[in-house]
């Protein structure tokens, strides 16, 4: 089935992204994974190439494409085409969370302070929600902000923070009113170098080895009034309104990753021989490939429609939850079956399918665990808020 998502402008942009990926990414992936970090120079190169800041308004140096997610999807597809999953995840945090939060919630002064350098890659952003004792239950957040003259004193800890080591600004979910109920939480931007703000361990993960994930520690950190992002006490509603974009990003990553692994598997089974013939000539192999391609194509059709809905400001919380739930489950199913078709070689990390297998597992957890996605969808079905 012919895909109708892109225009010639998107195709031209893809050529730019592909050239960047071949020049700056392909030969460096293994080194980044060994370092457990994607260095800043690739961020700066991406900024120079115009690949970062797609959602930022033009007056701040961006592309002004916040409501044309097709450009972001091109970047996601091209990075996953070469199995640069960690870099895709790091860029995704910047492009689909940090920058949109500042664009949508920030005042003019905040946008001027942060967005131009985020577009160039000089400032790397992160968001800190998850805590050691709190995962998907955001109401259980304990990191506190005590009101003082001119700002807040923040104490607490966050964990599993993507871009946690390299981030220059962190959007932190903080309890600013212990008695505030649903309005107890606010978003405060903590900047590198603030007294009392430190990084804990760089966490060892199952997959995504080239992406820095860390613990963050806040010990009597003074955060000025100028760093309150959005409305005081509006944190949960702000998160709720902006989470659909993060979940769309995860679904898009899922389709792009599954596609790349599937394509490499088709090539492998056509070249690999067993019992005197290519593996692709066995009926079981062809049936597996047929089932996987159908799953990928059907999922892509749904995610493409979700992108169209997002561009039209029509993507609902439920739509995004369905895309994230189905996309991440499909990704894991397909990659697992591709690994099986590789046999023992699939379990070797020198083959892309082995690394992709590790990298895919977190997709069912972050952005809200898939059990939470089911709860969101289920509540909508039975009419519960």
Name which CATH class applies to 127-232. mainly beta
pLDDT score, position 134: 75
pLDDT score, position 135: 64
- The mean pLDDT of 214-222, rounded to a whole number, is 97
Alpha carbon separation from 139 to 80, 175, 223, 371, 383 (Å, rounded): 34, 9, 22, 17, 22
| Fold of domain 8-123 | Butyryl-Coa Dehydrogenase, subunit A; domain 1 (1.10.540)
Identical topology for domains 8-123 and 236-382:
no
Rounded CA separation 297/231 (Å): 41
Which of residues 178 and 381 earns the better pLDDT score? 381
Q: Which pLDDT tens digit goes with each residue over 43-77?
A: 999 999 999 999 999 999 999 888 899 999 999 99
Nearest Cα neighbor of 88 from 25, 41, 130 is 25
Residue 180 has pLDDT above 90, yes or no: no
CATH of domain 236-382: 1.20.140.10
Parse the chain into domains and list their residue ranges.
8-123, 127-232, 236-382
Give the pLDDT band of residue 354 (cuts 50, 70, 90).
Answer: very high
pLDDT score, position 136: 65
Residue 350 has pLDDT above 90, yes or no: no
- Helix or strand run (H / E) with residue 362: none
Rounded CA separation 385/367 (Å): 19
Rounded CA separation 90/167 (Å): 10
- The mean pLDDT of 260-283, rounded to a whole number, is 95
DSSP state of 129: -
pLDDT score, position 140: 79
pLDDT score, position 139: 75
pLDDT score, position 156: 96
Residue 138 has pLDDT above 70, yes or no: yes
Instruction: Choose the catalytic residue: 246, 288, 295, 322.
Output: 246
Is 246 a known active-site residue? Answer: yes
Give me the chain's average pLDDT, please. 95
What residue has token string 């690999």?
272
The distance from CA 228 to its chain's CA centroid, rounded to whole angstroms, is 24
- The mean pLDDT of 261-267, rounded to a whole number, is 97
Residue 385 has pLDDT above 70, yes or no: no
The DSSP line for 249-314 is HHHHHHHHHHHHHHHHHHHHHHH-EETTEEGGGSHHHHHHHHHHHHHHHHHHHHHHHHHHHHHTT-
Q: Which pLDDT tens digit goes with each residue over 21-39?
A: 999 999 999 999 999 999 9
pLDDT score, position 263: 98
Q: Which pLDDT tens digit goes with each residue over 3-22?
A: 889 999 999 999 999 999 99
pLDDT score, position 339: 97
pLDDT score, position 127: 96
Which of residues 384 and 107 earns the better pLDDT score? 107
Q: Which pLDDT tens digit goes with each residue over 277-291?
A: 999 999 999 999 999
């Amino acid at each position: 089935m012919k895909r109708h998502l892109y225009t010639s402008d998107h195709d031209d942009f893809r050529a730019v992204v592909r050239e960047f990926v071949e020049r700056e990414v392909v030969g460096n992936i293994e080194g980044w994974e060994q370092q457990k970090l994607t260095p800043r120079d690739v961020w700066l190169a991406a900024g120079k190439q115009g690949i970062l800041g797609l959602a930022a308004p033009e007056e701040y140096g961006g592309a002004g494409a916040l409501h044309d997610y097709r450009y972001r999807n091109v970047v996601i597809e091209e990075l996953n085409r070469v199995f640069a999953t960690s870099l895709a995840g790091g860029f995704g945090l910047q492009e689909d969370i940090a920058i949109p939060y500042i664009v949508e919630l920030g005042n003019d002064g905040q946008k001027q302070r942060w967005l131009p350098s985020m577009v160039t890659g000089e400032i790397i952003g992160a968001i800190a929600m998850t805590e050691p004792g709190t995962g998907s239950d955001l109401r259980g957040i304990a990191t506190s902000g005590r009101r003082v003259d001119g700002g807040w004193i923040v104490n607490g800890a966050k964990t599993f923070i993507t871009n946690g080591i390299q981030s220059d600004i962190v959007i932190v979910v903080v309890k600013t009113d212990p008695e505030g109920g649903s309005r107890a939480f606010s978003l405060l931007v903590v900047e590198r170098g603030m007294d009392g703000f430190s990084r804990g361990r760089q966490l060892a993960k199952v997959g995504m080895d080239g992406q820095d994930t860390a613990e963050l520690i806040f010990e009597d950190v003074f955060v000025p009034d100028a760093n309150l992002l959005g409305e005081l006490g509006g944190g949960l509603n702000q998160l709720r309104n902006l989470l659909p974009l993060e979940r769309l990003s995860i679904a898009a990553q899922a389709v792009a990753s599954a596609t790349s692994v599937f394509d490499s598997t088709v090539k492998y089974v056509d070249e690999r021989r067993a019992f005197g013939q290519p593996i692709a000539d066995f009926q079981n192999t062809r049936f597996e490939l047929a089932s996987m391609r159908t799953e990928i194509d059907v999922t892509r059709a749904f995610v493409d429609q979700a992108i169209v809905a997002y561009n039209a400001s029509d993507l609902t919380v439920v739509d995004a939850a369905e895309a994230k739930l189905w996309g991440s489950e499909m990704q894991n199913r397909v990659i697992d079956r591709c690994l099986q078709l590789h046999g023992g070689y699939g379990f070797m990390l020198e083959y892309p399918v082995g690394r992709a297998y590790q990298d895919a597992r977190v997709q069912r957890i972050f952005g809200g665990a898939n059990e939470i996605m089911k709860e969101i969808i289920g509540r909508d079905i039975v009419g519960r808020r």
